[in-house]
Amino acid sequence: MDQEKKLFPYFQPIVCAANGNIVGYEALARQYDANGRVISAGALFSSADIPHHQLIEWDRIVRRQALQQFSAFNNSCYLTINISATWLDYISDFNALPTMLMIDEFGIDRSRIVIEITESEGDIDKLVKAVEIYRKNGIKVAIDDFGSGFSQLERVMTILPDIIKLDMTLFQKAAKGGIASDVVHMLTRLARRTGCRIVCEGVETADEFFFGLNCGAQYMQGYLFSPAVATFQDSTHYQQEIATLRKQFLQTTLGRERDKIQFILAIKGLIEQLKCALEDDFVLAQLPTDMFYDSGVLRFYLCNNEGDQISSNYNLIDGKWVDDSEKLGFNWSWRAYFYQLRALEATDDCYRIVTSDRYRDFSSDLLCKTLSLRLDDERILLVDIAAEWL
């Protein structure tokens, strides 16, 4: 049997966390192995031993089957078709893009098709040209494996896709925490700012689903719901399952947020006590440490209204206050927590505590936040706290 007769599409659902519906499908190439089992054709299409023209021909056969099956599916969901950016280099006539011709042949509403750009290689100019044609004809464009390398960032900035699919390996690693989690949160914020719809790919566990929600990703795809299958399903197939997951997420998140609020209130109480101690003649040796024990406070210091540090860093180390004058004279006026506090002077809220974003502290290697508040007309108090879970 010829290879092209062994290739066929399967369809993996993409679900919406907000309403629980299937909103789309990704068409994926499948083939039979020697034992007649259905397996992914990914290894075939990534083979360096097969000429590009042959791979393109096989890919179009699978694509055509997928579009033909989708045309008979009476539903409002969309279909994602994968196209390698490298293969666009072999297009001779951009006025007759093969996928466009197939869509029209089967009478499919173009707004229900998404072209998903895969692979990190390919001529960026040809990619831009193809994307312009797809968009002009009402077809949306997605970028696959976002976060896997600089080339993907460059593509996002260049073509401004409608949909961004997070790199599966990065996403699954990020769901376990650590620096990968911060990277994914950063990428999802970038995607939202560009108006892109974010799809988390490779969602296999409830914790990964919860992490996707925490990142602000409304759309999920993965084995938690379904692998790629031969047929399309009713759009409400996973509604109950997703409703249960949302409830679990809310309960867990509410508990965590309540703990966070109590922690912040305790910290603010300590800072108010510290503020009172600093209003009189201040002697570091007389500042009690017991109330700061296990509080998360790492250090405090003072600045003037210009942002110049006018005190040492007073570090809490092993239950003792330690004076470190290394940063004396440094200027912090360029830090957001400083100028935001100064800006409050124009309001009735000028003695409010301003909190920085999380950052990694060089001295302790802990994730931290800096809290700033006005001490008096001349001095500003800044307190660094550990914020591993804030």
> In the predicted model, what is the mean pLDDT of residues 204-216?
93
| Res 2: pLDDT | 61
Contact yes or no for 342/334 (Cβ under 8 A):
no
With bands split at pLDDT 50, 70 and 90, how would you rate the model's confidence at 33?
confident
pTM (predicted TM-score):
0.83
Q: List the beta strands (DSSP E) in the chain.
A: 8-16, 22-32, 38-40, 78-84, 113-118, 140-146, 163-166, 197-201, 219-221, 297-303, 313-317, 320-324, 354-355, 359-360, 367-374, 380-386
> In the predicted model, what is the mean pLDDT of residues 185-202?
85
pLDDT of 96 over the 90 cut: no
Distance separating alpha carbons of residues 13 and 79, to the nearest angstrom: 9
pLDDT of 40 over the 70 cut: yes
| Res 361: pLDDT | 83
**Do the domains 3-237 and 255-386 sit in the same CATH topology, yes or no?**
no
Cα 74 versus chain centre, distance: 32
Return the CATH superfamily for domain 255-386. Answer: PAS domain (3.30.450.20)
Could you tell me which residues come within 8 angstroms of residue 363 by beta carbon, excluding any fewer than 6 positions away?
298, 315
pLDDT of 190 over the 90 cut: no
With bands split at pLDDT 50, 70 and 90, how would you rate the model's confidence at 1?
very low
Among residues 278, 271, 382, 260, the alpha carbon closest in space to that of 333 is found at 382
Name the residue ranges covered by the structural domains of the chain: 3-237, 255-386
To the question of domain 3-237 being in CATH 3.20.20.450, the answer is yes
Q: What is the percent of the chain with per-residue pLDDT over 90, rounded to a whole number?
A: 50
Distance separating alpha carbons of residues 92 and 6, to the nearest angstrom: 28
